[in-house]
C-alpha cells in the first residue's frame, strides 16, 4: 500500500471483551480533541460481510475455504472503499476487528496462521497500533449471554474461543499492546488511552500542550 497520512488502530480479541464499547469511547474522545475519526467494523455491512453474518448460526453450511474467502474479500472491499481513502485523507481509523481476527479465528478452524497473516498483509494496510483486549473465554461467553443478552453463535462457543485465544496469545508484534479486559469499562478505557496518546503524539496529530489533551489526561488521573 502507498504511504498513508492517517492512523489505523485495530481493536482485537475474542467475543465479549468489550471492543465495540471501547471504540465508541475512544472515538468520542478523539473527536473532542479535534481529530477526524472513522469508526468501522468487520465483518462489514457490504455484500460479503452480510453473507458472513448470515452464516453465524449455520456455519457448517459453507466449506472452510469459502468461509475464509468471504472474510478476505470483505476485507479487500473494506480497504478499497473505506480504510484506504480515510487514511489518505489523514483521518484516524478505528476498526472493530481486522486481519489479526481472521488469523486467530480461521487459524482455530484449521488454516495456517502464518499463511493467513501473509495473505492479508499482501493487500491490507498494516495497523499502526493493535489493541488486543484479553479475557478468559468463559468470561467472554458469559458477557455475551448476560450483558448482551444474546444467544451464542457458531463463532462464540467456548471451546472454539479457547483455541482462538491461544492463537491471540501467540502473537508477537511491536505494534501490539495487550489490554486486560477483565475490569470494568472505565478501567479498560484507562489502559487503552496511553498507547493511543503516544502513537498520535508520535504522528504529530496531538499537540502535547493543547488544553484539550491536558484536560483529557487530567480526567484519567482523577479517576484512578
pLDDT digit string, tens, across residues 136-195 = 999 998 998 887 777 777 788 899 999 999 999 999 999 999 999 999 999 999 999 999
Q: CA 80, CA 86: separation in Å to the nearest integer?
A: 10
Question: Does residue 45 belong to any structural domain of this protein?
Answer: yes
- Domain tally for the chain? 1
Query: At a CB cut-off of 8 Å and minimum separation 6, what does 41 contact?
Result: 20, 95, 96, 97
- Residue range(s) defining the domain that contains residue 98: 7-223
Question: Does residue 2 belong to any structural domain of this protein?
Answer: no
Question: Does residue 159 belong to any structural domain of this protein?
Answer: yes
Question: Does residue 1 belong to any structural domain of this protein?
Answer: no
Question: Does residue 137 belong to any structural domain of this protein?
Answer: yes
Q: CA 189, CA 184: separation in Å to the nearest integer?
A: 9
| Between 18 and 223, residue with greater pLDDT | 18
Cell representation of residue 35: 481529530
What pLDDT does residue 62 have? 83
Residue 151: which CATH number? 3.40.50.300
What pLDDT does residue 1 have? 45
Question: Does residue 205 belong to any structural domain of this protein?
Answer: yes
Query: Model pTM?
Result: 0.89
Question: Does residue 66 belong to any structural domain of this protein?
Answer: yes
Amino acid at each position: 500500500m502507498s504511504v498513508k497520512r492517517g492512523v489505523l488502530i485495530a481493536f482485537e480479541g475474542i467475543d465479549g471483551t468489550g471492543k465495540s464499547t471501547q471504540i465508541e469511547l475512544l472515538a468520542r474522545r478523539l473527536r473532542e480533541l479535534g481529530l477526524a475519526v472513522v469508526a468501522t467494523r468487520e465483518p462489514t455491512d457490504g455484500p460479503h460481510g452480510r453473507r458472513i453474518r448470515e452464516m453465524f448460526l449455520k456455519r457448517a453450511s459453507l466449506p472452510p475455504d469459502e468461509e475464509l474467502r468471504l472474510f478476505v474479500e470483505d476485507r479487500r472491499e473494506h480497504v478499497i472503499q473505506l480504510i484506504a481513502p480515510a487514511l489518505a485523507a489523514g483521518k484516524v481509523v478505528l476498526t472493530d476487528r481486522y486481519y489479526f481476527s481472521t488469523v486467530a479465528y480461521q487459524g482455530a478452524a484449521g488454516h495456517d496462521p502464518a499463511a493467513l497473516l501473509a495473505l492479508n498483509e499482501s493487500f491490507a494496510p498494516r495497523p499502526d497500533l493493535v489493541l488486543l483486549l484479553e479475557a478468559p473465554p468463559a468470561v467472554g461467553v458469559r458477557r455475551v449471554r448476560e450483558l448482551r443478552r444474546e444467544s451464542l453463535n457458531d463463532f462464540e462457543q467456548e471451546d472454539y474461543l479457547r483455541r482462538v485465544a491461544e492463537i491471540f496469545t501467540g502473537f508477537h508484534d511491536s505494534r501490539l499492546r495487550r489490554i486486560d479486559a477483565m475490569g470494568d469499562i472505565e478501567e479498560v478505557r484507562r489502559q487503552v488511552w496511553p498507547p493511543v496518546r503516544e502513537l498520535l503524539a508520535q504522528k504529530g496529530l496531538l499537540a502535547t500542550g493543547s488544553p484539550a489533551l491536558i484536560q483529557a489526561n487530567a480526567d484519567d488521573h482523577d479517576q484512578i
